[in-house]
Amino acid sequence: MTHLNNERRPETQPGVASAEDGLVILDGPDGVAVTMTAAAAAETGHNLVEAARAAQMQIGTTPGSDEN
């Protein structure tokens, strides 16, 4: 019997964002893609930056540094 590891591992590669027909498409790992309005994408970007700063402070790295 195969045991599945349900442990989530953080993605280490960044997503790639592009603009197409007035929408923003964020391509992620394993074929994941999200299409957003420009406003939703801008707010998502802001939220990601703030969350990244908080996470870096939690582990003691400085914003913008490579923690790997």
Q: Does pLDDT of 6 surpass 90?
A: no
Q: Is 38 helix (H, G, I), strand (E, B) or coil?
A: helix
The structural domain count of the chain equals: 1
Beta strands in the chain (DSSP E): 16-20, 23-27, 33-36
Report the chain's C-alpha Rg in angstroms. Answer: 15
Q: Does pLDDT of 64 surpass 70?
A: no
Task: Give a yes or no: residue 50 inside a domain.
Answer: yes
Supply the range of the domain harboring residue 28: 16-59
Task: Give a yes or no: residue 3 inside a domain.
Answer: no
Task: Give a yes or no: residue 33 inside a domain.
Answer: yes
Name the more confident of 66 and 19: 19
pLDDT digits (tens, 9 = 90+) for 9-55: 899 999 999 999 999 999 998 899 999 999 999 999 999 999 999 99
